[in-house]
Amino acid sequence: MMEQKHNCQQQLEDLRKEYEEFAYIVSHDLKAPLRAISNLSAWIKEDMGDNLEPDIQNNIRLLQNRTDRMERMINGLLDFSRVPRFDLEIREVNVQEMVAQLAAQMREQHSLILHAQNLPTLTTYARKLETVFQHLLQNAVTYNENQTREVWVEAAEAENTYQFRVKDNGIGILVDAQEKVFRMFYTVQPKDQQESLGVGLTITRKIIQFVGGTLELRSEPGQGTEITFTWPKTV
């Protein structure tokens, strides 16, 4: 029985490694032709100068936008595949300062009020924790139609973990979409209305699973979204 269990675990580990290698290779191999398409369309536009008809200009613009989006999707897939292998440096993190710095960056594009309290300092995978908060804060301001976005971030201490809570005053998520938002490239709003790729929560959950934490989402349309996740005190 023990040998059978070991074999199953080894098979799962081999499959995981194969997937990561596949995603990494595909991501890199797809970038070259995409960049070539983008460059060619730019050269055509430049060569034609002011002689392009409005319809052709619009078609070239759409082509460039689609290739740019595809490249960003590939980057998202690459980031997803990197979770178990990259950003493994462990160092001390002041979460209060980290969240404040991330919010300051987002204020360059949005009016944002941050309510942060009881956030700890811990020694952990610093870059991974930063990525989690970056995606959660970005979603909070992106899926939000209020003139002033508000985000509440707080933490509660347990024996071996911290439980973080991130709540916003955004548009909220329908009940039947609350599991779908963790799928790669799924977006709450139509893609032609929203520039978000739909990878943030997918990567967030994968990182939290990687460190052994848990994640829960609660939301109602028009009432904002609340995400709680646990993060180990030591890794």
Q: Rounded CA gap, 62 and 151, in Å?
A: 34
The whole-number average pLDDT for the span 189-203 is 72
Is the Cβ–Cβ distance between 75 and 31 less than 8 Å?
Answer: no
The answer for 117, left when phi > 0, alpha when psi is -120 to 50, beta otherwise, is beta
- The pLDDT tens digits of the residues spanning 12-60 come to 777 777 777 777 777 677 777 888 888 888 888 787 777 777 888 888 8
pTM here is 0.80
- In this prediction, residue 230 carries a pLDDT of 98
